[in-house]
Amino acid sequence: MIRGPMPSDQGYVASTWARSLLSGLRGSRNRMPDGQTRSAMDWRGHALRRHGADRVPPEPRKSERDLRAEIGARINAVLDRPDTRALIFEVDRDNRPEMIIGWVLYVEGPSVPTIHYLYTRDHDDEGVSLRGHGIARRLLAHIGVTRHSAVVCTSAGPSSESMRGHFPASAYLPLDQFLSPKEKR
């Protein structure tokens, strides 16, 4: 079921967005398939290394604390904007409380929606895979995004890369430029 957000959803949305961007940060000392060893402070984490490295400029290594603060500030800036909208995809499971399995944050534009981030839970608490079942596509369709409609993506994370691969009429606008459009970059 797709529904609008409730105030109690904000913590889940913010934490899953941050965790998605920071995933792999602690475990990145492992030897990678290319033979290189990654530092534990590789600021991009698994999601950005895998999906967004070509658009993310190299930066000096940062502490985990600084990374969390920076990402948290960006997430809060998006969530605090009056034009930010959200949709939540949840399931009701055998009289148990609903479980959120996906969400999208977006802005309704005059003719083109702007997607900040789209998240789908990897698996449920019983280990059943939740990705690859059209949850993201249904969330996007609910706000009018089809395979051939224009859409703007502000995230350099995995949902943006995947979306732009599946939606040929999409464009990328860095989140910092969206949040501060008057500043020259």
pTM above 0.85, yes or no: no
Q: Range with the lowest mean pLDDT among 28-37, 74-83, 97-106, 173-182? A: 28-37
Query: Is the domain defined by 2-6+77-179 classed in CATH 3.40.630?
Result: yes
CATH 3.40.630 positions along the chain are 2-6+77-179
3-state SS, the chain, equals: CEECCCHHHHHHHHHHHHHHHHCCCCCCCCECCCCCECCCCCCCHHHHHHHCCCCCCCCCCCCHHHHHHHHHHHHHHHHHCCCEEEEEEEEEECCEEEEEEEEEEEECCCCCCEEEEEEECCECCCCCECCCCCHHHHHHHHCCCCCCCCEEECCCCHHHHHHHHHCCCEEECCHHHHHCCCCCC
Predicted local confidence at residue 148, as pLDDT: 86
Instruction: Provide mean pLDDT across the span 27-56.
Output: 44
Instruction: Provide mean pLDDT across the span 121-148.
Output: 86
Predicted local confidence at residue 104, as pLDDT: 93
The answer on pLDDT for 151 being more than 80 is yes
Using 50, 70 and 90 to split pLDDT, how confident is the model at 5? very high
Q: pLDDT per residue over 62-102, tens digit each? A: 777 888 888 889 999 999 999 999 999 988 766 566 789 89
Using 50, 70 and 90 to split pLDDT, how confident is the model at 37? very low
